[in-house]
Structure 1
Amino acid sequence: MTTDAIRTFVDGARGTLLADLDAWLRIPGISAQPDRHEDVRRSAEWFADAARRTGFPTVEVWDDGPWLPAVYAEWRSDDPGAPTVLVYGHHDVQPVDPLELWHTDPFDPTIDGDVVRARGASDDKGQLLFHLLGLQAHLAATGRSTPAVTLKYLIEGEEESGSPHFEELLAAHRDRIDCDVVVVTDTGMIAADVPSTVTGMRGMVVGTVTFHGPDLDLHSGVFGGAVPNPATANGRLDGALHDEHGRVQIPGFYDDVLDLTDEDRDLFSRVPSDDTEFLKVAQSRALAGEDGYTTLERIGARPTAEVNGIGGGYQGAGNKTIVPSDAFVKLSFRLVANQDPARIAKGVEEFVSAHTPDGIVSSIEWEGAGVRPCLVPLGTPAYRALTAAISAAFDGAEVLPTREGGSGPEAELQQAVGVPLVFLGVGLPDDQIHAPNEKVNLSMLYRGAEATAHLWARFAETGRDALRSSERSEV
């Protein structure tokens, strides 16, 4: 199997990939919005049909639990000793708000040269379609009638809602997802000309803190200055989250953090990074964060606390001079290796209690149990096979390790199956995922397809026992 044979097939199938992408992106499968749940089902059924068209003999839509429909597909290799690979991704998409900031209809895909713009183009529909194309290229280039590895796809329908039922789904179908290695395709690369692979994703805990003061809004002239104000308590809590050095002040927040080694920091330093360009993509005017760490280290390997939204009291035009009855703040905490969501949540509860003044009642509503962080050891046989496949797709370029600042259910999946996990994703930093005007570069999808075609052959050559090993060798 040669790179030329794979690339020739991928080049010849560009029109098919684009047509499929256009059709799928028109389905507004927003899992966070109940009135779109039927569209989530349509999205699952669309991908299930696409998997059947690709050749998967077993394709199922799993809707037998509280979760939104997920897709399972399986294609067994005719080699009885072949490794089994589980590919994870998601077919649901983020809400499109604020709609007025989109330049085009988010569910009417537009093409401008190499760019396709629509909600879900990069996260995660385009990335799932490059896997289907890569499998076809693998079969064509090898002349095989079945993949060189047994392939299983698990495509979730609730990832953009925090995967609230993912552990239940895994438990319900535990007998179907046994594998030797997991490949996650919901991440990106540093730049179009800098191939890389994610080696860690942060965990997350999300909740809403509510402060209740008087049982009704009060006239601020009659009662202001004489009764506690929940909006003021809210502001003081938010301001106390960080010290002057950007460190989070939650009790025990850093106790379990896996600190960066000198080798880790050297690897981060090798990743091309331009803070000016970062600010341009972020449309921000300044950097901020924990002292003593670079921008890449802050977003990939350090835990954070963020205020996601604040409310309370009168929000309309003009004046309404009151002491409000209630105020709230939405908080999220990104976690890194070794941090436990439950322990962080307990620390947050202690912190809120300590910052609740007399006369105010505070409460916290958590959005699920949180997501655990995930860290991929470098130099394992699975990692080496992955980087070799990516390198082949990028004409022999070095593949750099990087870490993803976002969060997902990968740790739960890895814990469920108990095997190594690696990441193959081709999104770019300027894809504006979760934001208006999301896009994907078609050229990156083609490279992803090539890498996929190489990867199944590399995994087959590596073998089941080696893929299951977590022993590190020279990178």
Structure 2
Amino acid sequence: MSQTPDSAVRTYIDTHRAAFLDDLAEWLRIPSVSAQPEHADDVERSARWLASALAGTGFPVTEIWPTPGAPAVFAEWPSEDPDAPVVLVYGHHDVQPAALADGWHTEPFEPVIKDNRMYGRGAADDKGQVFFHTLGVRAHLAATGAAAPAVHLKLLIEGEEESGSTNFRALVEAQAARLAADVVIVSDTGMWSETTPTVCTGMRGIADCEIELNGPDQDIHSGAFGGAVPNPATVAARLVAALHDADERVTVPGFYDDIAVLTDAERALIAELPFDEAEWLRTAKSHAASGEAGYSTLERVWARPTAEVNGIGGGYQGPGGKTIVPASAQLKLSFRLVSGQDPYAVQKAVTDWVAARVPDGIRHSIVWGAPTRPCLTPLDHPALRSVVRAMGRAFGEKIRFTREGGSGPAADLQDVLGAPVLFLGISVPSDGWHSPNEKVELDLLLKGVETTAYLWSDLAENWKPASASASVPTAG
């Protein structure tokens, strides 16, 4: 009796499971810590290892793309159908620093399998989630009997995500023609929990700044001059106090212009998640939930923009008193942005808002960091439907939806390439990203393999994007 496509995929995965895990462990042994200069050669070695592994998987094109920092890896496997969707998978091969002295139970770069989990730096973030695409595409080919994927498949795996993706946007802009895609799939994300599989549909953007306020040319006596000259620390406090109204809404004019407002359907989907606010507060090491009136905690974190005071300083900070009017004060602010907000428009609005509130006698400067744009995938996007169906087949249950409150370089791909960004990850909160004893649940890792094995056929069968180009080379 012939196997069904699903049973063929699962049989292939079971047969190749041990070799797949051995190969992943070999990759994890390379300490590709991009933030530490002494590991620059290891990051290079990691890129070479991945390029070789992708070539061994069957990708006819594998290239290492140098940057002024760490190298990225590009791979491409054309479909036999020139009208097939073009899919770009994003991930990263660099990892966070790790040492046994940090609290690891085992050497962080000597992977260990225990209780059906693989422990090691990068097991979940992000080598494991990159590597499941290798076995996934092979299982896809085994089940379909094809010589090439059902979609035109590309991979871009960067090498400095953990150190700020400093050169990533420039790389994407320089290689935009090679990276052109109908959809981007980010495999650097996670699910709600081991028992609640989810698909992330968006990330917030960010704009952050440092404000310097200067008053007197030096600290001066508060008895002789206080109350008669402007105090930069007082100005800093007034700026912070004016940043939000009584409902915790940001007061900067134009801040909420054009944002994507949560629909009733989206709010209902968020409310479906088994959210325990008390447990969340324990994780946050906080004692009460707070934020913009009219929204739940998850809605505030995922789908509403924010303004946060990250730091405030000025004047004397030592023991005892020192009665001065300080010469300067400083503020650090960050703004998390949602779909519809332009980071540069927010920068201008905040800059104008600050200038209008700084009194005569106070000189000020405001310096902005590099912004990141928000990204959001519409719930009715056909590619998202394919991801949900493929995950549903792999997990055998309903797939729910989340968003990410943080920000990441995936938005640069959306911005430069003009392609929607989808998220496909199987990591869970207990995996300990950036922490000692990082691990990946092996059953979930293999569900990621299975999901990608189904996904490429589903996309090809159910989505023919208008932008699919007949000039895309075919396999052969």
TM-score scaled by length of structure 2? 0.85
Contact 2:95 2:121 in 1 (8 A): yes
Q: Distance in 2 between matches of 1:462 and 1:3?
A: 18
Cα deviation, 1:100-119, whole Å, max 9, x if unaligned, reads: 57666655555542444454
Residue number in structure 1 paired with 2:338: 336
**Identical-pair percentage:** 55
Q: Mean Cα displacement is larger for which, 405-414 or 16-25?
A: 16-25
Tell me whether 1:274 sits opposite 2:266 in the alignment: no
Report deviation, 1:334: 1.0
Deviation at 1:327, TM superposition (A): 3.8
Question: Which shows bigger deviation, 54-63 or 275-284?
Answer: 275-284
**Distance apart, 1:129 and its partner CA:** 1.3
Task: Give the Cα separation in 2 of the matches to 1:22 and 1:177.
Answer: 29
> What is the one-letter code of the residue matched to 2:381?
T
The answer to whether the Cα contact below 8 Å between 2:43 and 2:159 also exists between their aligned partners in 1 is yes
CA contact (8 A) 1:194 1:399 kept: yes
Secondary structure in structure 1 of the residue aligned to 2:126: helix
Q: Could you tell which deviates more after superposition, 234-243 or 370-379? A: 234-243
> Where does the alignment leave 5 or more consecutive residues of structure 1 unmatched?
470-475
Q: 2:456 aligns to what? A: 456
Q: Distance in 1 between matches of 2:339 and 2:135?
A: 33
The match for 1:129 is: 131
Q: Which amino acid aligns with 1:274?
A: D
Is 1:372 matched up with 2:373? yes
Cα shift readout 1:308-341 (whole Å, capped 9, x = no counterpart): 344555667x458466544433322111111000
CA, structure 1 residues 252+182, in 2 after alignment: closer, same or farther (shift >3 Å)? same
Would you say 1:6 and 2:34 are equivalent positions?
no
Change (3 A) 1:342 1:122: same
Q: Please show how residues 379-458 of structure 1 align to structure 2 within 5 Å.
A: 379-395=380-396, 397-434=397-434, 438-458=438-458
User: How many Å separate the matches in 2 of 1:462 and 1:120?
Assistant: 34
Paired position in structure 1 for 2:305: 303
State the distance in 2 between where 1:118 and 1:229 align.
Answer: 52
In the other structure, the counterpart of 2:58 is 55
Q: 1:392 to 1:156 in 2, by over 3 A?
A: same
For structure 2, list consecutive stretches of 5 or more residues without a partner in the other structure. Answer: 470-476
* Larger displacement relative to structure 2 (433-442 or 196-205): 433-442
Q: Which moved more, 1:384-393 or 1:109-118?
A: 109-118
| 1:41 lines up with 2:55 in the alignment | no
Inter-CA distance 5–343: structure 2 relative to 1 (3 Å threshold) = same
State whether residues 214 and 232 of structure 2, in contact with CA within 8 Å, keep that contact through their aligned partners in structure 1: yes
Residue 190 of structure 2 corresponds to which residue in structure 1? 188
SS in 1 for 2:252: coil
Whether the 8 Å contact between 1:382 and 1:467 is mirrored in structure 2 is no
- The 1-side partners of 2:55 and 2:254 are apart by 50
Give the Å deviation of 1:128. 0.6
One-letter code aligned to 1:7: R
Equivalent-residue separation in structure 2 for 1:222 and 1:100 (angstroms): 52
User: Does the CA contact (< 8 Å) of 1:381 and 1:466 recur in 2?
Assistant: no
CA contact (8 A) 1:420 1:467 kept: no
Structure with bigger gyration radius: 2
Verify the 8 A CA contact 1:181 1:468 in the aligned structure 2.
no
The 1:460/1:103 distance shift into structure 2, 3 A limit, reads same
Contact 1:281 1:430 in 2 (8 A): no
TM-score (norm 1): 0.85
Q: 1:441 Cα shift? A: 2.4
* One-letter amino acid of the counterpart of residue 393, structure 2: A
Number of matched residues?
A: 465
Q: Which region of structure 1 is more displaced relative to structure 2, 133-142 or 384-393?
A: 133-142
Asked if the contact 1:122/1:427 (under 8 Å) is kept, the reply is yes
Deviation at 1:152, TM superposition (A): 0.6
Q: Which stretch of the first structure deviates more once superposed, 262-271 or 139-148?
A: 139-148
The Cα offsets for residues 259-301 of structure 1, whole Å up to 9 and x where unpaired, read as 1122222222222322123223333332222111112211111
* Contact 1:199/1:423 (<8 A) preserved: yes
* C-alpha contact (below 8 Å) 2:120/2:437 kept by paired residues: yes
CA distance in 1, matches of 2:29, 2:327: 43
Secondary structure at the counterpart of residue 460 of structure 1: helix
CA distance 1:84–1:258, shift in 2 (3 Å): closer
Identify the range of structure 1 (222-231 vs 72-81) with the bigger mean alpha-carbon deviation: 222-231
Q: Residue 72 of structure 1 aligns with which residue?
A: 74
* Contact 1:199–1:376 (Cα < 8 Å) also in 2: yes
User: Is the 2:84–2:468 contact (alpha carbons within 8 Å) kept by the matching residues of 1?
Assistant: no
Residues 251 and 350 of structure 1 are in contact (CA less than 8 Å); yes or no, is this contact kept in structure 2? no
1:244 maps to a residue whose letter is A
Residues 157-199 of structure 1 deviation map (CA, whole Å, 9 limit, x = unaligned): 3434444433322221122122333222122222222222111
